[in-house]
Amino acid sequence: MTTFVSDVETADFQREVLDRSHEVPVLVDFWAEWCGPCKVLSPIIEKVVDEAGGRIRLAKIDSDRNKELAGQFGVQGIPTVIAFKDGQPVSQFTGALPEAQVKEFIEALLPSELDLAVEEADRLYEAGDESGAEGMLRGVLTVDGTHHDAAVTLAGLLLDRGDNEEAVKVMAPVSQTPEVTAMLAAARMSSANDLDLDQLEASVAANPEDESAAFDLARAHSAAGDYDVALSGLLNLVEQRGERADDARIAMLDIFEVLGSNTPLVGDYRRRLATAIF
């Protein structure tokens, strides 16, 4: 076995595959001693993994000795190779592929130049070079405006700095993963921190028909942690079906996201919002 290839048993699987896959992709090769195609694939995949120089690891699992583990991942034929990233299986193949196809499979798992730039930006930020990190992340997004990790990392930097509106702009083009959705909600809610609650209350009292003032007042209450008051005001705008109705609906969803679905207040207002819309 080489540095990047190891035999793994069920007892080692959590540490050697799932935990390690948060650092680098890990290939799991389910094989058996009696399997002819396994003997064909084994030197090919080990060679390609070695050539990757530590950017990927290979865990070889004897399916006869670890039948429960093979069954857990639906292995029906061998060799079966399953790739893990961030603790989850992401792709797989069955059978003895030629070297060119094995290389293609592995290359798809390795970080791109943009991915490596994001990792370098992380290191710069941790070292205190915020300007350098921001410049590198913006460079990545100039090439690929939908690069998830670059957008999330830059948005986090901007949120730490209090630049909430810019954080929202950065995340807007990115696929709405749960992480992005949560960050967007937090950013939009935080953007109301500078609103003057007393001034807005006076404005709404003077002109109850001013939807924009009512919307900002509800957001100011949200920023102050008065979520019940905020949700009540936003729901009223949704029910009125005026110009700020959709903005109010989105603001309610942001509060739901930040508070969490198990919060009784969220459950109550989620039902009331559904009634107002439908």
Sheet holding 26-31, edge to edge: 5-7, 57-62, 26-31, 80-85, 88-94
Sorted by where each starts, the structural domains of the chain and their CATH numbers stand as: 5-107 (3.40.30.10), 113-190 (1.25.40.10), 197-277 (1.25.40)
**pLDDT score at 153:** 94
Whole-number pLDDT of residue 132? 96
Whole-number pLDDT of residue 1: 57
| pTM attached to this predicted model | 0.63
Q: Give 8 or 177, the one with higher predicted confidence.
A: 8
Q: What is the pLDDT of residue 109?
A: 92
38 is a catalytic site residue = yes
Report whether pLDDT(235) > 80: yes
Contacts of 269 (CB under 8 A, 6+ apart): 231, 235, 252, 255, 256
Mean pLDDT of 23-47: 95
Evaluate whether 220 touches 229 at the Cβ level (below 8 Å): no
User: Kind of pairing, strands 5-7 and 26-31?
Assistant: unpaired
> What's the CA angle centered on 257, arms 252 and 260, to 5 degrees?
115
DSSP string, 82-123: EEEETTEEEEEEES---HHHHHHHHHTTS--HHHHHHHHHHH
pLDDT of residue 194: 85
Residue of 8, 28, 35, 159 marked catalytic:
35
Residue 69 backbone class (left: φ over 0; alpha: ψ -120 to 50; beta: rest): alpha
Average pLDDT over residues 120-146: 95
Tens of pLDDT along 190-229? Answer: 888 888 999 999 999 999 999 999 999 999 999 899 999 9
What is the band of 188 on the pLDDT scale with cuts at 50, 70, 90?
confident
Task: Determine what percent of the chain is predicted with pLDDT higher than 90.
Answer: 81
With residue 201 as reference, give the H or E element that holds it.
helix 197-206
Q: Give the residue from 257, 214, 206 showing the smallest Cα distance to 232.
A: 214
How many CA atoms within 13 Å lie on the side-chain side of 125? 20
* Residues whose CB is less than 8 angstroms from the CB of residue 102 and which lie 6 or more positions away in sequence, other chains included: 41, 44, 45, 48
The dihedrals phi and psi of 110, each to the nearest 5 degrees, come to -80, 150
Work out the angle between the directed axes of helices 113-126 and 148-161 (0-180°, nearest 10).
20
Strand partners, 92: 82
pLDDT tens by residue, 238-276: 999 999 999 999 999 999 999 998 999 999 999 999 999
Amino acid (1-letter code) at residue 127: A
pLDDT band at 151 (very low <50, low <70, confident <90, very high): very high
Q: What is the pLDDT of residues 262-272, one digit of tens each?
A: 999 999 999 99
Mean pLDDT of the chain: 93
Contact 235, 269 (CB under 8 A): yes
Per-residue pLDDT at 171 exceeds 70? yes
126 Cβ contact list (under 8 Å, min separation 6): none
The structure tokens listed for 187 are 């950013």
Letter for the amino acid at 224? A
Q: What's residue 236's pLDDT? A: 95
